[in-house]
A and B are shown apart, each in its own frame.
Chain A
């Protein structure tokens, strides 16, 4: 834990600067004020009555939907793209054209199509997570050593056996990379998607935008801290899951 010592020192320095009034606290609140802001988010809520844990639950709910749909479509399509060269050739031009459009640029059309609410938010998150999942899965299949497929064939494996017992486990490390990158993008996309309005008044992005509207930088920064920490915890959970089911290497 010694490697976090420099962070601690910077926090102390920051606190001192704020204490001396070198930095005005309406621009940058001190670490202690941010902690107090966090306390307010937990107890009073922002806007008042809308408590932090509910914001977190709503955000996770949206990400859960968008990410699940991205997995359900991206992983199978990625496997097919890696396995069938023809499918790869047909799908690639679409991917190349659509992928460079930032997910956030889809927000207006998503609202036109799906209205403001969980469906459009989930759609934006889906777009963010889908392409990393699709492309990592496809490249995972392509990276499976062809000699392993030959070995399976000489042991009388059918196409179905090769798919489920060679290609799928062989591309699992890449699928995990895709899930971690996809989840990272999904989480980033979520907060921005919530800026543009949520119907039910909950969500971490909505929360910090509301805090901005009423000039509460301590609560904005506390909210940012929470968003970062949840992203970190989710990534940590994925890594723990991966090392549990793939105990080698």
Chain B
């Protein structure tokens, strides 16, 4: 499996002034099987839009998204998306949320319940099956959302700042949980975050995007084995460099201003 982004671009129409605002301009990227690639960039630079395009949710954009050479133009079971705000169905129990995709496929109740139970076990969430999302902690809700996506066994998992609204302790727990999960399943993950520490802790590669219109500025290859030491010299060096690029981006004049 591999993902290729070729000259990906997106402009939004500004209704009021009837002009086009470029959000992303020609992003090229290749993600190989089993990699975790992080995308970091200044806030509002179009990272989420990038994931929406790859997931097939956006209708109009420039360039191509190729998954194993096949162009993606609409949502498919091959690409899963995990949202920052969890996006769980509040009227469904945890188990019913996790089963949603299988239910859509038309799988019978016993069968999908059995598969969901496996994921609930793998995710360490036994005993909460019949709880509703509002009765679960933020970390647990995001685990349910991840399980709901992974149960479809997508070839590519997109995560849009999945731990962005968690407190820092839960965030660290979830990062470690994700690493454990990768040892178990070897998913290919494209991970958007604004948190440089998180990117350095998790990723095989980090792609740094510029501010709007986003293009890729720099790619870092991280080779330190997992589990990583968050405070090692190697981690710190990369962190310092990434933060430096992002700061430079913030203070440089915006091309959209003229």
Q: Which residues of A does B touch, CB under 8 Å?
A: 145, 147-148, 150-158, 161, 165-166, 169-170, 172, 246-249
Contact present for A166 and B148 (CB under 8 Å): no
* A156 contact from B57, B75, B85, B89, Cβ within 8 A: B75
User: Are B104 and A155 in contact, with the CB atoms below 8 A?
Assistant: yes
A147/B134 contact (C-beta < 8 A), A154-B55, A156-B77, A246-B91 known: no
Q: Which 5 A-B pairs have the closest CB atoms?
A: A248-B132, A155-B101, A151-B87, A154-B81, A147-B87
Q: Determine which of B90, B132, B148 lies in contact with A155 in the assembled complex, contact meaning CB atoms within 8 Å.
A: B148
Known: A155-B100, A155-B152. A150 touches B134 (CB 8 A): no
- Total contacts A-B at CB 8 Å: 68
Q: Told that A147-B85, A157-B104 touch, could you supply 11 new A-B pairs with CB distance under 8 A?
A: A148-B87, A150-B52, A150-B83, A153-B75, A155-B80, A155-B104, A155-B148, A165-B104, A170-B89, A247-B132, A249-B90
Q: A154 contacts which of B75, B88, B91, B92 (Cβ < 8 Å)?
A: B75
Please state if A152 and B100 are interface contacts (CB–CB under 8 Å). Answer: yes
Shortest CB-to-CB span from B189 to chain A, Å, is 15
Which chain A positions have C-beta within 8 A of B149?
154-155
User: In the complex the two chains form, what is the Cα distance from A158 to B104 in whole Å?
Assistant: 8
Complex: A150 Cα to B77 Cα, angstroms = 13
Cβ of B76 < 8 Å from any Cβ of A?
yes
Q: Is B23 an interface residue (CB 8 A)?
A: no
Option from A166, A246, A247 in Cβ contact (under 8 Å) with B89: A166
Q: Quick one: CB contact mask for B67-110 with A, threshold 8 Å, 1 for yes? A: 00000000111011101010111111000000011011100000
Answer whether A170 and B91 are a contact pair too, CB < 8 Å, given A147-B83, A153-B57, A156-B75: yes
A145 to B132, CA, bound (A): 17
8 A-B pairs within 8 Å (CB atoms) are namely: A153-B75, A155-B101, A156-B104, A157-B104, A165-B100, A248-B132, A249-B132, A249-B134
Interface residues of B in 147-193 (CB under 8 A from A): 148-149, 152
Query: Closest residue of chain A to B92, judged by CB?
Result: A169
A152 and B55 CA atoms in complex are apart in Å by 12
Q: Determine whether B195 belongs to the interface, using a CB cutoff of 8 Å to chain A.
A: no
- A150→B57 contact, CB < 8 A: yes
Taking CB atoms, residues of chain A closer than 8 Å to B56 are 153-154
C-alpha spacing A249/B131, complex, angstroms: 11
On chain B, the residues within 8 Å of A151 by CB distance are 81, 83, 87-89
CB neighbours (8 Å) of A248 from chain B are 90-91, 132, 134-135
Residue with the highest number of chain B CB atoms closer than 10 Å, among A151, A161, A249: A151
CB distance from B228 to the nearest CB of A (A): 30
Q: Hey, which chain A residues are within 8 Å of B79, CB to CB?
A: 154
Q: Please, which residue of chain B has its CB at the minimum distance from the CB of A145?
A: B87
A245 closest partner in B (C-beta): B91
| B101 CB, nearest partner CB in chain A, Å | 4
Q: Kindly name the residue among A165, A166, A248 whose own CB sees the greatest number of chain B CB atoms within 10 A.
A: A248
Chain B residues within 8 Å of A166, by CB: 89
Which of B57, B89, B104, B134 is A148 in contact with, Cβ under 8 Å?
B89
Q: How far is the CB of A188 from chain B (nearest CB, A)?
A: 31
The closest CB in chain A to the CB of B132 belongs to A248
- Assembled-state Cα–Cα distance A154/B149 (Å): 9
- In angstroms, Cα B75 to Cα A158, docked, is 10
* List of A residues within 8 angstroms of B104 by Cβ: 152, 155-158, 161, 165
- Which residues of A lie under 8 Å from residue B132 when comparing CB positions? 247-249
Report the separation of the CA atoms of residues A151 and B101 in the bound assembly, to the nearest whole angstrom: 10
Question: Bound complex: CA of A155 vs CA of B87, how far in Å?
Answer: 12
Contacts of A147 in B (CB 8 A): 83, 85, 87
Assembly CA distance A183 to B211 (angstroms): 54
Chain A residue nearest to B97 (CB atoms) is A151
Contact B87 A150 (CB under 8 A): yes
